[in-house]
Amino acid sequence: MSADSSTSQEIPNPAVDGSELIRFDKVVKRYGSNVVLDELDFSVASGKHVTLIGPSGSGKTTILRLLMTLVKPEQGTIKVGGKYLTHEERNGKLVPAGEKHVREVRKNIGMVFQQFNLFPNMKVLRNIMEAPVTVLGLSKDEAEQRARELLDLVGLGDKCDAYPSQLSGGQQQRVAIARALAMRPQVLLLDEVTSALDPELVAGVLDVLRDIAHTTDITMLCVTHEMSFARDISDQVLMFDSGRVIESGTPEKIFTEPEHERTREFLSAVL
């Protein structure tokens, strides 16, 4: 039976596969009568780069928003790093997670959005240092060192003292990537991070992400319409349709030998 997120219940399956970083179990997400995710089961193994593809409205972004706890599921459970995100265990029962518990589990998750969401009144360096100092309790010196290293990583070591408005969209998105990484999350969620950019700025952002994917062990869960990027960085591609994974596999398999008719239709429309 599915877990209802509003009431207490027996813990369904406490055994956790150590290699699993994200796990959705029978997750239902509805908006009114619109069932966006319908008892969705899926998992992401630690260190893997997983890309979600599929038609508009199929529920890809909703998965990332659930992980960021920006929305709550109506039913089902979500675990990150072996801990429930949606629930807490109390006396052998699962109860809806309280804010403190959610904050603790969510520290493992970083997200980069379509819109860069930088603090406009803070310089670039401070944008990156802010959360490590206020949320993780790092000293200002430690946070600054981490921020400078990350700015180098995204190719913006010379922009510490700029305000976001002085940067291009692509540069702002690279700062947003550095800011997400500054929290040292176990998983980085990427939600169509190049869709708001002018075409000439897309490649620079994707190059930075390719570099991060190939040189770090961070787990990535990515929603993108950039199929060549998905092909380059993914260990696994999941094809979504109407809130369900209808096909999954390596990029080679999904992009060259898709099995499902809907996958073939989708790819022929976007490739």
Cα-Cα-Cα-Cα torsion 90, 94, 99, 105, nearest 10 degrees, comes to: 100
Tell me: does residue 57 bind ligand ATP (CB under 6 A).
Answer: yes
Tell how far CA 2 is from the center of its chain: 24
Tell me: does residue 61 bind ligand ATP (CB under 6 A).
Answer: yes
Pick the stretch among 59-67, 96-104, 162-170, 174-182 that binds ligand ATP (CB under 6 A).
59-67
Tell me: does residue 33 bind ligand ATP (CB under 6 A).
Answer: no
Binding residues with ligand ATP: total (CB under 6 A)? 11
Q: Is the Cβ of residue 90 or residue 225 nearer to ligand ATP in the bound state?
A: 225
Contact with ligand ATP (CB under 6 A): which of 51, 58, 127, 171? Answer: 58
DSSP annotation of 4 reads B
Q: How far is the CB of 37 from ligand ATP (least distance, A)?
A: 8
The number of residues making up the chain comes to 271
Pick the stretch among 54-62, 132-140, 161-169, 214-222 that binds ligand ATP (CB under 6 A).
54-62
- Whose CA is closest to 164, among 130, 138, 208? 130
Pick the stretch among 11-19, 29-37, 92-100, 175-183 that binds ligand ATP (CB under 6 A).
29-37
Q: Which structure tokens are listed for 74?
A: 């109506």
The strand ranges marked E within the chain are: 9-10, 20-31, 34-45, 49-53, 75-80, 83-84, 87-90, 93-96, 109-112, 187-191, 219-223, 236-241, 244-249
Only one residue has tokens 């990535």, namely 220
Tell me: does residue 174 bind ligand ATP (CB under 6 A).
Answer: no
Query: In what order do the strands lie in the sheet containing 34-45?
Result: 34-45, 20-31, 75-80, 83-84
Tell me: does residue 224 bind ligand ATP (CB under 6 A).
Answer: no
Pick the stretch among 31-39, 105-113, 205-213, 252-260 that binds ligand ATP (CB under 6 A).
31-39
Tell me which residues touch ligand ATP (CB under 6 A): 31, 34, 36, 54, 56-62
